[in-house]
Amino acid sequence: MKELALLFLRLGFTAFGGPAAHIAMLHDEVVARRQWLSEEQFLDLLGATNLIPGPNSTEMVLHIGHQRAGWRGLLLAGVCFISPAMLIVLALAWLYVQYGSTPQAEWLLYGVKPVVIALIAQALWGLGRRAVKDARLLGLGILVLALYFLGVNEIALLLGAGLLLVLLRNGTQVWKSGGAALLAPLAGLPGLLAATVQPFKLGSLFLIFLKIGAVLYGSGYVLLAFLHRDFVERLGWLTEQQLIDAIAVGQFTPGPLFTTATFIGYLLGDVPGALLATLGIFLPSFVFVLLTGGLIPRMRASKLAAAFLDGVNASALALMAAVTWQLAQSAILDLYTAGLAVLAAILLIRFRINSVWLVLGGAAAGLLAATWR
């Protein structure tokens, strides 16, 4: 338990760079250095995280803790990995509330926002090359993109895309089972929680983030689609600017991008809101990992689960693309910000510069622009 706490506290303070970087760090620590897991075991756990909703790198941490020390190890590993990022984001949220409307902060964010758009676009491109495996998945993604802009609910799009691909790939099996097989991939999903209230309440905030944590597949950046639809469009609790600022803070800090929930919770409900939002979005991952730990071999071998996951991933990437386009319109305002976005994309793709340095560079470029105007 002490080894788990020390390792994941350290990673919680230093794991910059997003889910792919987190997975690489975990592999180095638990396979190469400590030999807690074999290569095969590590790959099994990684495959399992792709079959359940939630942040993949955080769920890998939970699986490793569970493998080492049972449910106590799962809880300890998760809390140690999430807490540092949550506390850092909480401090930044306080600073944002105190100084976010000052001219200096506005110019800083003026430079950061286009860099964040480039980071999201680069992640979208990398994920898309792996997830869109054939023309059928490409067509499914385009369909989801169109339906999103027509106002269809994003959860319905995610689940509908997964079920549609199950039918397309395994129609005969589904027909013979009388439709029962179609429900198999959903066995691990809880009932969806439909938050429909408009006035702000702490309980509603918790339920919205619980719903998001329970159904969100794909990269943490897909979180954008859910946050935008619920908090900006439907409830009007956040502005476009506040949302992209929240994502920027989540990108800048170590640990999971899902701690964006901490930032939003603080903006809306102070410290109690931050704690409830964080608990809501991460709680489903703890439950899913605990329930699926012993089912990994069967999950990986299931053709229905694999088809469902492929459809969900294609849908998630389409949602991510749609919201990136919407956010770009409030982040790229002129030639200067367009140039920052292009430069950040080049540095990411060609030189693989760490995202933290890019965000810091964007902040410096924003402050520099303030001195010229």
Q: What is the pTM of this model?
A: 0.69
For range 175-197, the mean pLDDT: 45
| DSSP per residue, 85-132 | HHHHHHHHHHHHHHHTTSHHHHHHHHHHHHHHHHHHHHHHHHHHHHH-
Is the pLDDT at 360 greater than 90? The verdict is no
What does the mean pLDDT of the chain come to?
81
In what helix (H) or strand (E) does residue 140 lie, and over which residues does it extend? helix 135-149
Query: Helix, strand, coil proportions of the chain in percent (round to 5)?
Result: 85, 0, 15
Q: Give start and end residues of each alpha helix (H) in 177-259.
A: 202-215, 223-227, 240-252
283 or 310, which is more confident?
283
33 or 365, which is more confident?
365
C-alpha to C-alpha distance for 331 and 115, rounded to whole angstroms:
9
Residues 6+ away with beta carbon under 8 Å from 279: 206, 209
**pLDDT > 70 fraction of the chain, expressed in percent and rounded:** 84
C-alpha to C-alpha distance for 190 and 114, rounded to whole angstroms:
36
Q: Which of 34-48, 164-178, 268-282, 326-340 has the lowest mean pLDDT?
A: 164-178
Token pair in block for residue 349: 């793709």
User: Are the beta carbons of 353 and 347 closer than 8 angstroms?
Assistant: yes
**pLDDT > 90 fraction of the chain, expressed in percent and rounded:** 28
* Selection from 350, 340, 373, 346 nearest residue 112 by Cα: 340
Is the pLDDT at 297 greater than 90? The verdict is no
Alpha-carbon distances of 307 from 111, 190, 223, 311, rounded to whole Å: 41, 20, 22, 6
Is the pLDDT at 195 greater than 50? The verdict is no
